[in-house]
Amino acid sequence: MAKAFKQPNPEFAKKVIEAGGNTLNLCFQCGTCTGSCPSGRQTAFRTRKLVRRAQLGLKDDIMDSDDLWLCTTCYTCYERCPRGVEIVDIIMALRNMAVREGKMAPQHRKIAQLVSRTGHLVNLRDEDKALRKKLGLEEIPPTVMQQPEGLEQVKKICSKTGFDKLVAEG
């Protein structure tokens, strides 16, 4: 039986370009990005493959794969790409599209929820407070952690922009 090939979806590829991936079609698949990617050294993530899928508009392959969330946005590939492909912008555009469809890696969702709840990406632990004190700093940093009115503003922004709903479970 003949193998079924995936059909390219130029409409989706066009949406990626319009969403910020305007250098997408400059990629000639040299693989420098994959060879440079620190995340790919630890995982099965292959940057070149993700870019190729985006060029072909293989939406389901992109949106339903963990790969999209394995980039740490270190920008190494971005700096090394011989074609000037703005790879991180493409990945960001794809992630934004995925989130709007309710798809997000659980770890990313948790961090986004933490930002909308606390104004910070990470919690302040007792060890962090102790270390700050040892360094002669205030135990609690002078951010929204110390300023309830600032935190209220962060929450207001997250609510008015719909960010909190966007990253909520389900």
The contact set with ligand SF4 (CB under 6 A) reads: 27-33, 36-39, 47-48, 51, 71-77, 81, 83, 85, 87-88
Report, in Å, the least distance between residue 68 CB and ligand SF4: 10
Report, in Å, the least distance between residue 4 CB and ligand SF4: 26
Closer to ligand SF4 at the Cβ: 50 or 158?
A: 50
Report, in Å, the least distance between residue 24 CB and ligand SF4: 9
Closer to ligand SF4 at the Cβ: 33 or 158?
A: 33
Report, in Å, the least distance between residue 38 CB and ligand SF4: 6
DSSP code at position 99: H
Which tokens belong to 45? 């993530």
Question: Residue 19 and residue 95: Cα distance in Å, rounded?
Answer: 10
The answer to whether residues 122 and 88 touch, using CB atoms and an 8 Å cutoff, is no
Alpha helices in 19-162 (DSSP H): 32-36, 38-42, 47-56, 59-63, 76-80, 87-100, 106-118, 126-134, 148-160
Closer to ligand SF4 at the Cβ: 77 or 112?
A: 77
